[in-house]
Amino acid sequence: MSLTSPVRVWDMPTRLFHWLVVGLVGFSWGAAEYGKMDLHRLSGSVLLGLVAFRLIWGLIGSNTARFGSFLRSPSAVIAYLRSNRTGHKPGHNPVGGYSVLAMLLLLILQIGTGLFAVDIDGLESGPLSYLVSFDQGRTAAEFHELSFTVLQIVVAIHMLAVLFYLVVRKRNLVRPMVTGYDRQIDNPAGALVPAGWGRFLIAAVIGIGLAWWTAIGMPV
């Protein structure tokens, strides 16, 4: 169902986070494949800052970006899957909310293990690898690779879900994440309520500070 006037559903920080993560995950993979480990580490540091920002934004950001707005109970997810509903509300649906959570957790695991990872020759290592033994660094590297494989699977499922909504339910989920506006909302209750620049600056400063601190080895 379409409205004459599109409803604003996503703020700029949320949209920028989404697309920057998409680009940087691909860039990190490519950098590692071609042995550009300095660029791989730099990209990982930026991703760390972005994820830290998103976690904070999920607590103090705009209403549709907050975890409390889209993380529902398992019973709500089951009810949604059984409903065959055609109505659309602002923000993530109950299934999409858990997809966001899964990808954030996998990104945290991916970035966290990369900080401590050491390659088989001990030549390339994460900025915090000096805090662990060689064997522990190798274990972190193995989990780093494994978590990326799992992340790829989850991303593939996410893309298939987006395609399913587009083809079967005639629901375009990509356009709102680009423009911030959704033309397919039939109940505007819960439309975007911006959080304000002050909260954005708090989240951004913490994210940038954490990324910089870990990149230089977390000196005290």
Provide the angle, in degrees to the nearest 10, between the axes of the packed helices 197-215 and 37-60.
Answer: 150
Report CA torsion sign: 176, 181, 187, 188: positive
Instruction: Indicate the average pLDDT of the chain.
Output: 91
What is residue 86's predicted lDDT score, i.e. its pLDDT?
Answer: 56
| Inside any domain, residue 2 | no
Residue 109 in domain? yes
- Nearest Cα to Cα of residue 88 among 185, 196, 5: 185
Distance CA 48, CA 207 (A): 8
d(CA 152, CA 100): 14
Structure tokens at 7: 């409803």
Within 10 Å of residue 39's Cβ, how many Cβ atoms? 15
3-state class (DSSP) for residue 88:
coil
Asked whether residue 220 is assigned to any structural domain, the reply reads: no
Query: What pLDDT, on the 0 to 100 scale, is given for residue 204?
Result: 98
C-alpha to C-alpha distance for 193 and 72, rounded to whole angstroms? 20
Q: Using the predicted structure, report yes or no on whether residue 2 has a pLDDT greater than 60.
A: no
pTM, two decimals, is 0.91
| Number of domains composing the chain | 1
38 inside domain: yes
Per-residue pLDDT for 85 more than 80?
Answer: no
| d(C-alpha 89, C-alpha 182), whole Å | 10
The residue type at 120:
I
Domain holding 52: CATH number?
A: 1.20.950.20
Whether residue 154 lies inside any domain: the answer is yes
User: Tokens representing 167?
Assistant: 């083809």
Range of the domain at 183: 7-215
At 12, which helix (H) or strand (E)? Answer: helix 12-33
For residue 1, the model assigns a pLDDT of 43
Say which residue the tokens 């590297």 belong to.
Answer: 141
